[in-house]
Chains A and B, each alone.
Chain A
Amino acid sequence: MAYTAEAFQNEFLALGATEVNAIVTVTSSGAEGGLRTAGATEIIIVDCSGSMQAEGRMIAARQAAKAAVNCIDDGVRFAIVAGVSTAQQLFPAPGQLAVATPETRAQAVHAIDRLQANGGTAMGAWLKLAHQLFAQRPGDIQHAILLTDGENGEYKGYLESVLQEIGGSFTCDCRGVGTNWTVSELRKIATAMLGTVDIVARPQDLAAAFEQMMTAAMGKTSAGVQLKVWTPVNSTIRFVKQVEPQMVDLTGKRSEDGPRAGRYPLGSWGSESRDYHVCVDVTAGAAGDEMLAARVSVVEGDVAHAQCLVRAVWTDDAALSARINRQVAHYTGQAELADVIQAGIEARKAGDDRTATLKFGRAAQLAHQSGNTATEELLSTVVEIEDAATGTVRLRRRIEAADEMALDTRSTKTVRVGRGQ
């Protein structure tokens, strides 16, 4: 697996400045020939609560699960979990994983026809069962899809305690169908499990969404990639965030790795490129001093694949220290964009239209400036954008719940800045 890591920053700091920012682009060419270097295990979790009977959701969920099963490569281990008030393994026999072959896929499709909607929603229990199944295959690329249409019914704090226990042990992409589920709840799971969250407003679109997720998962060729960050003594890491393709704060996922270094999980990788924002507070140097503020490496176990340096150089030349690095500025803007959208949605729900308008106005401005047209289009379903450049917007009187949820879930999607400083 060939990785590259490149840091983009303005290393020049004004005298007395202590905050060092850099965007690190990690690119992987994927394993040779697209072959997995590790085994892979897939678990599909389908919510079978009573509400899934509405609007033909159960029929669509069955079709989606079948479509996903048919995307699983030969040799990959898999299982299907039926989510009710407890977690029940639908396929294969409880506690086991099937090896994908044309026969087992056909058996799984047959089993999926038995899925019935009756029961409650217990996401913590579902994830725990998935975790137990994955535990049989340490070292595998471990990926789960979780589909739900409602809020978690477990007692308060249980899901959080499960996530605390199993967070980051496998990747989980979460999809909500309809509009009765809670964005913040699924986002909590997706963030803890290094996965994605999205809305599938219409049940008939589920099959395509499942196919897309499973195809992406099959493209992953290595598991357990980590970002190792070394920082000098007397410095603190303010944050480490994935900023592209979407915002994910990794700061709290640090595990210590020897003196002054820590590792942040990056999940599984195929042939792809992602950007990370590293922000370090250091002690200020004198004019002309150069400091290594962070040494950032892409690691898998004990193997370091690529490394780049984040530097700090103190200068009294304001022309140098005032230079704005395009990458850092762009992603700082994208992070603010996600924040103001979420703040706008909360304000609107709380009935504070004035704050909501201000937040959405700023969001429209940021989305427009950065060329994030997808987010700008989503925004325009919630507000009428009169002038994106100045951030002049008006709240729409009628807002479809699905539109607002789509804006919320996709607020963390970012666009990449053009390269070439």
Chain B
Amino acid sequence: MTVSLECAACADERAAGAAFCESCGRTLATGSPAGAGPRCPACGPAGAVDADGYCGTCGMLAARPRDHAEADSSPVAAAVTDRGLRHQRNEDAMWLAVRGADTDAVVCDGVSASYDPDVASAVAAEAAGRVLAAGGDDLAGRVAEAITAAGDAVAELARTDPRRAASNPACTIVAACVRGTEIGYGWVGDSRAYWVPERGDARQLTEDDSWATHAIALGVDPQSAWNDPKAHAITAWLGADAGPVRPRTDTLRPGEAGMLLLCSDGLWNYLTDPAELASTVRAAVRKAPDLIAAARTLVAFANEAGGADNITVVLVPIHP
């Protein structure tokens, strides 16, 4: 039991058997203000979190719902998104919908240089997810439609607020639609989809719309391209200033069992080697009791490696 020692009046009130201090309002048993939220993780028993999420004593933001979110549809699919260690908020967003073995998944990563990128990614993930659920039989076409809808939704944001109009909210997107053993997928930007077979290297299904990828395609040495400060500058995105959105899409019908992985650069930055990525994913799945735990393990891996960016991981096992 912790007692608020900060309040001089508390001693008398405690002696009188009061439930909380009349002068500071803290409950005497826990030291947290009466009726207020949980204790502040930054300053401990002295502070408690107000309704707006900030500690009433030290002012630190306790947590936001988006800092860490999970979607658990084990064993069909699982997704985890996390703020990471260095960013102030989670600008990644995800969408996971499962009906039987059918799975729709979207990962979006807000562009930090734009205004309200967290809103952009949330809006895009939801808009795309809704179209994925309702589209036609052509899976790649359905994904293209979903990404276009997401692009429209993000572009619309710039029309609602002058600050957003001045610095267009923007995000990347990677989306996949799994029906049986057929996977339709598509992307804009540098969020990635991988096929991780049970043996051998991971196969990157997407090709980043980024400066580094373009430079490598033009013949620049991959090592020096990725070390360039511009490496991660994306060349295509969703947003009012993105021009017409041209999602690249494809379909995959794997002949063997494996794992579809969608992720933001918060994960793949730490796993650039396809062999290492494959073994890390397989080890996570093998050691974890279920799929959601495996997704958490991958997020924890990125955080242990530095957590420099927001991290989002979606795992969808495929069994032909």
Which chain A residues have a beta carbon within 8 Å of chain B's beta carbons?
Answer: 231-235, 259-260, 282, 285, 287-293, 295, 309, 313-317, 319-320, 419-421
Contact = CB atoms under 8 A, between A and B. Distances in A.
Contact of B162 (A232, A287, A420): A420
A295 B47 CA distance: 16
B59 A288 contact: no
B166 A290 contact: no
A285 B86 contact: no
Interface string B94-131: 00000000000000000011000000000000000000
A285 B54 CA distance: 14
9 contacts: A232-B55, A233-B43, A233-B46, A287-B86, A288-B83, A291-B61, A313-B88, A314-B88, A420-B162
B88 A232 contact: no
B89 A290 contact: yes
B57 interface: yes
Given A293-B59, A421-B163, A288 B86 contact: yes
Contacts of A309: 52, 54
Contact of A233 (B57, B84, B162): B57
Contacts of B83: 288
B85 interface: yes
A234 B58 contact: yes
The 3 closest A-B pairs by CB, nearest first: A232-B59, A292-B54, A290-B61
B242 interface: no
Nearest to B89: A290
A315 B59 contact: no
A272 to B, nearest CB: 22
Interface in B51-93: 52, 54-55, 57-61, 83-89
B87 A288 contact: yes
A137 to B, nearest CB: 34
A295 B51 CA distance: 13
Given A420-B162, A421-B166, A289 B57 contact: no
A181 to B, nearest CB: 45
Contacts of A231: 59
B24 interface: yes
Contacts of B87: 288, 315
A231 B56 CA distance: 9
A67 B286 CA distance: 90
Contacts, number: 65
Contacts of B57: 232-233, 260
A419 B60 contact: no
Nearest to A317: B112
What size tier do the contact residues of chain B reach?
Answer: 20 to 34
B112 A320 contact: yes
Given A290-B61, A320-B112, 17 more contacts: A232-B57, A232-B59, A260-B57, A287-B85, A288-B86, A288-B87, A288-B88, A289-B60, A291-B54, A292-B54, A292-B61, A295-B54, A309-B54, A419-B162, A420-B162, A420-B163, A421-B163
Among B47, B59, B163, find the residue whose CB has the most chain A CB atoms closer than 10 A: B59
Interface in B27-54: 43, 46-47, 52, 54
A290 B112 contact: no
Nearest to B64: A290
Nearest to B43: A233
B162 to A, nearest CB: 4
B66 to A, nearest CB: 13
A251 to B, nearest CB: 20
A231 B167 CA distance: 30
Contacts of B24: 259
A218 to B, nearest CB: 34
Nearest to A231: B59
Contacts of A315: 87-88
Contacts of B60: 232, 285, 289-292
A421 B114 CA distance: 13
A290 B162 contact: no
Contacts of A289: 60-61, 88
Contacts of A420: 162-163, 165-166
A325 to B, nearest CB: 11
A309 B83 CA distance: 22
A181 B86 CA distance: 59
Contact of A235 (B47, B52, B59, B163): B59
B88 A290 contact: yes
A265 to B, nearest CB: 25
Contact of B59 (A259, A291, A314, A316): A291
Contacts of B54: 291-292, 295, 309
Contacts of B88: 288-290, 313-315
Among A232, A260, A295, A317, find the residue whose CB has the most chain B CB atoms closer than 10 A: A232
Nearest to A11: B88
B199 to A, nearest CB: 38
A288 B58 contact: no
Interface string B245-273: 00000000000000000000000000000
Contacts of B43: 233
Nearest to B52: A309
Contact of B86 (A260, A291, A316): A316
Nearest to B60: A291
A421 B164 CA distance: 9
B58 A232 contact: yes
A421 B112 contact: no
Nearest to B164: A421
B86 A421 contact: no
Contacts of A313: 88
A259 B26 CA distance: 13
Contacts of B165: 420
Contacts of A259: 24
Contacts of A287: 85-86
Contacts of B85: 287-288
Contacts of B162: 419-421
